[in-house]
Structure 1
Amino acid sequence: MDALANRFYAAVRTFWRGLESEVCKEMASALTGPQMYMLHYIHRERQCKLTQVAEMLEVKPSAVTVMVDRLEKAGYVVRANDPADRRAILVEVTPLGEEVLARAVRKRDEIVEEHLARLTPDERRLVTELVEKLTGGFGA
């Protein structure tokens, strides 16, 4: 089982890195993989504290500040003081950030569809169901 687990991990990692690389290539350096992940999280939360983003990424708040600085400089997010807690900083996605994220998601979907097209309809259904089953123990 150990060899199979290693093969599985290597295949999933290779697929994920290849997907991320292709999407970033399409984005013409508009976003790095980690920036895209952060932008997606902020978009999903609508507005969140920088400390929330740091916790989600499991990094120090200072690392998040640097990444948010770059996203803000590119016009993808804006920061504001939290009216409920003046010590906290809120971040949210701008319309330009929404646009670049939507473009990245469309490209991601195209790439996934290209890879799934290599499989028969039954294989596509099966692999999807199996991955859903494997990820069932993780949070959304």
Structure 2
Amino acid sequence: MHTNEFAKVWSKLAKDYKLHMENGLAPALTEAQLTVLEVLEEQKRMKPSDFIPYLATSPAAVTMLLDRMEKNGLIIRERDEKDRRIVWVTISDRGRQEVLRGIQVREDYLSHVLNRISSHNQQLLVYLLGKVSAAPQEAG
């Protein structure tokens, strides 16, 4: 087993990716905000609780994130006309511009990294990572 080697490579990749994304998205976006905007682009409108599975965080953290995003003009929050308890979140025009920029930042980085290997090996890498991430958890 090459778990130690894998851990080192994975850790370095994750750190480089995170650093690049933080720098590339700043000052207008964070990675979590980009995730929210991408999901909203797809779903059109969502309740705050709908974001929890995409962000792997607490409801309170989602609320804080949406507060910041609304303040920065990335999203719009509106109460439901029929049921005032429901709040709908939609993407703003500024949010649409930022999601495109964020996706481009990610694409540029991943293309740069992946272009170090052949197209065939890129497909193989994605396939293998898919196999690893889809593996059922072993009972400890």
Task: Pick the TM interval, shorter chain.
Answer: 0.7 to 0.9
Q: Report the counterpart of residue 58 of structure 2 in structure 1.
A: 60
Per mean C-alpha deviation after superposition, the further-off stretch among 23-32 and 93-102 is 23-32
Q: How far apart, in 2, do the equivalents of 1:68 and 1:46 lie?
A: 15
Q: Once the two structures are superposed, what CA deviation does each residue of 1:63-106 show, in whole Å capped at 9, x if it has no partner?
A: 21111111011110000112353212111111111111111111
Summarize the Cα distance change of 1:37–1:115 in structure 2 as closer, same or farther, 3 Å threshold: same
**After superposition, where does 1:76-91 map in structure 2 within 5 Å?**
76-91=74-89
Alpha carbons of structure 1 residues 99 and 137: separation in structure 2 relative to 1, 3 Å: farther
1:39 to 37, 40, 49: 37
Structure 1 length normalisation: TM-score? 0.80
Which ranges of structure 2 fall in alignment gaps of 5 or more residues? Answer: none
TM alignment of 1:108-127, pairs within 5 A: 108-127=106-125
* Alignment: residue pair count: 136
* Cα offsets for 1:91-132 (capped at 9, x unmatched): 111111111111111111111111111113332221122123
**Contact 1:42/1:53, CA 8 A, preserved across alignment:** no
Residues 60 and 121 of structure 1: is their aligned pair in 2 closer, same or farther, counting only changes over 3 Å? Answer: closer
1:99 partner SS? helix
Q: Percent identity?
A: 25
- For the aligned residue pairs, the C-alpha RMSD in angstroms reads 2.4
Name the structure 1 match of 2:25.
27
Q: 1:90 to 1:9 in 2, by over 3 A?
A: farther
What residue number does 1:50 align with?
48
Aligned-partner SS, 1:86: coil
* Equivalent residue, structure 1, for 2:127: 129
